[in-house]
Amino acid sequence: MANVSVYNMEGKEVGSIELNDAIFGVEVNEHLVHLAVVQQLADRRQGTQKAKTRSEVSGGGRKPWRQKGTGHARQGSTRAPQWTGGGVVFAPVPRDYSFKLNKKEKRAALKSALSDKVQTGNIVVVDELKFDEIKTKKFAEVMNNLKATRKALVVIADNDEKVTRSAHNLPEVRTALTNTINVYDIVNAKTLVLTKDAVSKIEEVYC
C-alpha cells in the first residue's frame, strides 16, 4: 500500500495514511482514461448546431437564365451552394454526441486517474478542512500552505457550504464531493487534495 503524508491546514505534516492499492495503486490504463474523458466532454456538447441545405433555403425555384446562349455557366437555381444566400453543401444538423461506457470501464478509469496522481506525487491528504466563516482569503492561505495553488481539485466527504463557497471565487481551485468526482476533473487538475474522510469514503465506495 502507498503511504502518503497527512498535513494540517497550516501545511505541517501531522501523520501519514496508507492508501488502498485496489484504488490508488492500480496499473494506469491510459486508453480507458482517454475514453472516459472523451465521453464526459461529449456528454457536455449541446449538439444544436444547424445550417440550411439548398433544399431548405427559401427561393430559387426558377432557373436564373436559359441553359445555353448567354455566355454564363449553366445554373439551375440561385439557392445552389456557389450562390450568395445559397444552401450549405454538407450542413451540420442537430445530433447527440454522447456515447456510453459501461460501469466497470468507468470505475477502472477513475481508479487509473487516482493511481496516476499517487504515482506522480500530485496528491495531498489533509486531516480536515474546517472554516468558521465563508472566507476566500482563508481558503487561499490553506491552498498556499499545501502548495496547491495551481489547478487544484479539492475533494471533501460531505457538503460543507463554508468550504465550497470559500473556494468558489478562486479560479484555479475546484471543489467536489466524493460522490461527484470524475475522471476529467482529476486528470485536468495539477494537484488532487483529499481530506482524510474523503479518502475513507472513496475506499469504502470503490473497493
Q: Are 206 and 200 in contact (CB under 8 A)?
A: no
Average pLDDT on 21-31 reads: 94
What one-character-per-residue DSSP string does 125-137 give?
EES----SS--HH
| pLDDT for res 124 | 95
Q: Is 90 exceeded by the pLDDT of residue 3?
A: no
Q: Is 90 exceeded by the pLDDT of residue 75?
A: yes
- Report helix, strand or coil for 207: coil
The pTM of this model reads: 0.82
Q: Is 80 exceeded by the pLDDT of residue 1?
A: no
Percent share of the chain, pLDDT over 90: 92
Average pLDDT on 152-181 reads: 93
How far is 187 from 28, CA to CA, in rounded Å?
Answer: 12
| pLDDT for res 65 | 94
Cell numbers at 57, concatenated: 433555403
Q: Are 205 and 179 in contact (CB under 8 A)?
A: yes
Q: Is 90 exceeded by the pLDDT of residue 60?
A: no
Report which of 49, 195, 56, 41 is spatially closest to residue 126, judged by C-alpha positions. Answer: 195
How far is 37 from 200, CA to CA, in rounded Å?
Answer: 25
Q: What is the mean pLDDT of the chain?
A: 93
| pLDDT for res 61 | 85
Average pLDDT on 114-133 reads: 94
| pLDDT for res 122 | 94
For cell 476566500, name the residue: 136
Residues 6+ apart with CB under 8 A from 182: 36, 40, 110, 176
Average pLDDT on 88-108 reads: 95
Pairing between strand 2-7 and 152-156?
Answer: unpaired
